[in-house]
Structure 1
């Protein structure tokens, strides 16, 4: 048994504004499952779920983002220095703002979306040449090796690299974005503004998958979600994630 990551979930005060930004930023389309939920996903022949892209779900919540830097963010891929510069300017015109998270003199550009969620526009890197616009979902952590052990067992993605500084996973099909865990000082202190949604394969038992994750070190999480078809958990370092019911997305 294994689970596949299918969405990046972003909490927002205004899902339509944040969803519209990310749709324009990535060149993707927008749909909605109902009030307070905006779905952003590739157009064309894309059919959810697909390993070639993690869709973005923006969900309205009453709480604003805290001043603390998010411990989960997106890295965007570029194909040339000119593409990077052009994309940064276009993102700023869409409402992104430059932010200083202590990055210093680096070749990538750090921006924030209209509600302050940080993301990076990377300089061209060969490893991300075939990921699509989202190069990676990046999660700050204390122990990348421990994260690789947990997430490598939790998902059907392959572990590509594990060091004391970072762990890298990607779909075993060799497509789509990467999932990267980077060692960062300090632990998690506030709820994540962004998290990953996992989906069982057809025919797999969701309750059995949740039990398997708990045995690996996940912890049940009560956010006041009530009676919903998905299950909220945290990984061994406290990062929230959801296990969806087959063919369902959370609101």
Structure 2
């Protein structure tokens, strides 16, 4: 069945500020169940959410390095007016425009208040039913190889595949895409943005971690100490965590 992506983990010096920003960006609510700020749909904190991939903002002592994040969010919009309104509103909330060499494109590249890159997309048919997060985009050296790993890790299926881009999505056709994009950029800094995965009810955490290691994942020590989750890297060094069942 695979592990379920339950949220995108964003590291921030001021988790409450960054959490409120992402709540504004996604039209959701920022909740403070503990030291982290969780961003999810309105109506009260439900975790794990049965439908959406949320955002979990975790406080850390150090700011983002100058290197571009290898993982980012692409936001969906319903119209060109919606795109323009969202970009303007997020700039008022602390977003800044970025030039990452994108040239003349219909999407808008921004950074959140602590410099984490993201894109506000023009309306696209592919993303009409994803919710506010169109895709989690991961820069890869070899997208096809990473698709084999992440497809096996999550059970998500390939929706489109070329040498430069592979799109994965949940087999039930809900939620955001996982997009593996070819980039020559090597791993130069600790990841500020990563996916957190959760075993399905009844699945064994240790067995799932062992399965991922057999697929090419490796242990990661970031000073987490004795915690109920497991930190790993995929075969290209992208960080991710396997969480414990609630």
Q: TM-score, normalised by structure 2?
A: 0.97
Give the corresponding residue for 2:221.
Answer: 222
Give the corresponding residue for 1:86.
Answer: 85
Give the conservation status (yes or no) of the 8 Å contact 2:11–2:60: yes
Deviations 1:82-137 (A, max 9, x none): 11111110111111110111111111000110000010000110000011111000
Give the conservation status (yes or no) of the 8 Å contact 1:230–1:245: yes
Distance in 2, matches of 1:101 and 1:147, equals 23
Deviations 1:140-175 (A, max 9, x none): 010000011000101122221221101111111111
Distance in 2, matches of 1:179 and 1:187, equals 20
Alpha-carbon shift at residue 50 of structure 1 (Å): 4.0
Give the conservation status (yes or no) of the 8 Å contact 2:158–2:169: yes
Distance in 2, matches of 1:48 and 1:42, equals 11
**2:241 is paired with a residue of what secondary structure?**
strand
Distance in 1, matches of 2:166 and 2:68, equals 20
Please provide the CA RMSD for this pair.
1.3
Question: Is 1:199 aligned to residue 198 of structure 2?
Answer: yes
Distance in 1, matches of 2:48 and 2:173, equals 16
Q: How many residues align?
A: 246
Question: Is 1:137 aligned to residue 139 of structure 2?
Answer: no
> Mind listing any 5+ residue stretches in structure 1 that lack a counterpart?
none
Give the corresponding residue for 1:167.
Answer: 166
Alpha-carbon shift at residue 46 of structure 1 (Å): 7.9
Q: Structure 1 stretch 42-51 or stretch 11-20: which is displaced more?
A: 42-51
Alpha-carbon shift at residue 224 of structure 1 (Å): 0.8
Give the corresponding residue for 2:34.
Answer: 34
Distance in 2, matches of 1:100 and 1:156, equals 35
Q: 1:169 to 1:50 in 2, by over 3 A?
A: farther
Alpha-carbon shift at residue 235 of structure 1 (Å): 0.2
**2:202 is paired with a residue of what secondary structure?**
coil
